[in-house]
Amino acid sequence: MAPGEEAIHLGLSTLVTHASKPVLAILVLLFAASTAVWIIGILKLLQVRREWAKLQAFAAETQSERSAEGLVSLVPRMEGSVGARLLRTMLTRAGGLGVSRLRAAANSAVVAERKRARSLMPVLASIGSASPFIGLLGTVYGIMDAFVRIGAARSASLPVVAPAIGEALFTTALGLAAAIPAVLFYNLVDKRISDFLAELEALAGEWIAILSSPAASQRTDRQATNIQRVG
């Protein structure tokens, strides 16, 4: 190092603590977004896994209950399962065991489950698409700040330019650090949600066929009426 030349320290902590206010605000926003991505992604994976396990357990029970009466009896016994919620909605909204009514009620229930399963997914999508541009905004501001420092110091030496360029590149890196996991989590969770809903729709079709079959007895109607009252 030449005599009189200042040492340049570009550690992450130095970049953050010495960042200008606009860049610091962008860094805080991107750090919050990056943290939210991991929290939301893990929570959504756990949610889909839990609901899938409950649906599989309910579907296994329905394999031994191939009658309308048996299906209706499962609803109060397996509360909390998405299958039980679907059957309850079908029975309470159908007002009977007609095919068209059951199918309409099933579609309504699947839509409700889709909204439940896809909650917070728009947040992941927004972070994944917006974070690189927010990081780029910090980069543009950092480069502008570098030129301002060059003009003020009348020098383009590294001690003048390096801190501002470091801040600029750090915002880009943090923007990508938030966006990449967001996109990966979104694609992974979205695939599992799609498989989950496809399985739910297939099971709903089977249950409609069972509930609307000629074998559905008056006792089944009475059980459905009792579920409507309880629900």
Q: What is the pLDDT of residue 3?
A: 44
What amino acid occupies position 138? G
- Compute the C-alpha angle 140/180/184, nearest 5°: 155
Nearest to 145 by CA among 4, 24, 13: 24
Name, in order, each residue with C-beta under 8 angstroms of 56's C-beta and a sequence gap of 6 or more. Answer: none
The predicted structure's pLDDT at residue 165? 77
The C-alpha atoms of residue 209 and residue 224 are separated, in whole angstroms, by 16
- Which residues of the chain are under the pLDDT cut of 70? 1-19, 65-66, 93-98, 156-160, 213-231
Q: If you search the block for the tokens 């409700």, which residue do you land on?
A: 112
Q: Which among 76, 72, 79, 188 is positioned nearest to 128, based on CA atoms? A: 188
Report domain extents, the chain.
12-230
The continuous run of DSSP H or E covering 154 comes out as: none
46: CB partners within 8 A, 6+ apart? none
pLDDT at position 22, please? 83
Q: List CB contacts of 43: < 8 A, sequence separation 6 or more.
A: 120
Assess contact for 143 and 164: CB atoms under 8 A.
yes
pLDDT at 65: 67
Predicted pLDDT at 219: 47
